[in-house]
Amino acid sequence: MSVGALAGAGLAGLALLAGCQLVLDFSADLEAQTDAGAPDAGAVPDAASLCDKFEPNESLEQTIDVEPGAFQGSICPAGDQDFYSFTLDGTQDLEIILTFAAGANDLELELYDQLSGARLTLSTGGDGDEQIVHSAAQGNRLVAATYVMRVYGRTPTVGNDYQLMWRRGPLAAPALR
């Protein structure tokens, strides 16, 4: 069972205890992602297959195109970096969430414009997740273009497994952190 499914089950359990019902259905994004040839987010690959799954994707020139949804990857060996690309039509909001085990193997997340190579957004923290949001509500919606997400370790000695989820909008409400 994936980390996202476990977290969703925990949230649903808390909601039921509080007398509420919470129903989350991400199947449409996951079906579209699987149909497009992207990895199945429900599968839990072993560490060796995570290391090799998308390689080579070590630079802006070697990006792997991904559809909206969630998938698992890994920064390994230590010092690795992963680049994933996607295209927006300019009428959509964007949310990217990187989730990983918090601690000494902290990961970082960046968003680049693929054409210019310019870094647009950087998310750094030490709490086991990183998030980037561009939306009309925040006044920072992106123009139609191809963008690149970069996942890497805070230091060159860092390696860690992760889940990367991205979606395009409109975003109904601000994301919870």
- What value does the mean pLDDT take over residues 53-78? 87
pLDDT top residue among 124 and 47: 124
Determine contact, residues 149/81, Cβ cutoff 8 Å: no
Strand partners, 24: none
Residue 100 confidence (pLDDT) above 90: yes
State what percent of residues in the chain have pLDDT above 90. Answer: 40
Read off φ and ψ for residue 15, nearest 5 degrees.
-65, -40
The residue among 133 and 28 whose pLDDT is bigger is 133
pLDDT tens column, 21-50: 433 343 333 333 333 344 444 444 455 567
**Residue 71: per-residue pLDDT:** 93
- The domain segmentation of the chain, as residue ranges, is 44-168
Q: Give 73's strand partners.
A: 162
Please determine, for residue 166, whether its predicted confidence score (pLDDT) is greater than 60: yes
**Per-residue CA distances from 90 to 40, 93, 118, 132, 145 (Å):** 27, 8, 18, 16, 7
At 162, the amino acid letter reads Y
User: Which CATH architecture is the domain 44-168 placed in?
Assistant: Sandwich (2.60)
- CA dist list (Å): 169 to 1, 18, 38, 52: 27, 30, 20, 31
Higher per-residue pLDDT: 10 or 105 = 105
Mean pLDDT of 146-168: 93
Phi first, then psi, for residue 85 (nearest 5°) are -115, 155
Query: Would residue 69 be called left, alpha or beta, if left means φ above 0 and alpha means ψ between -120 and 50 degrees?
Result: left
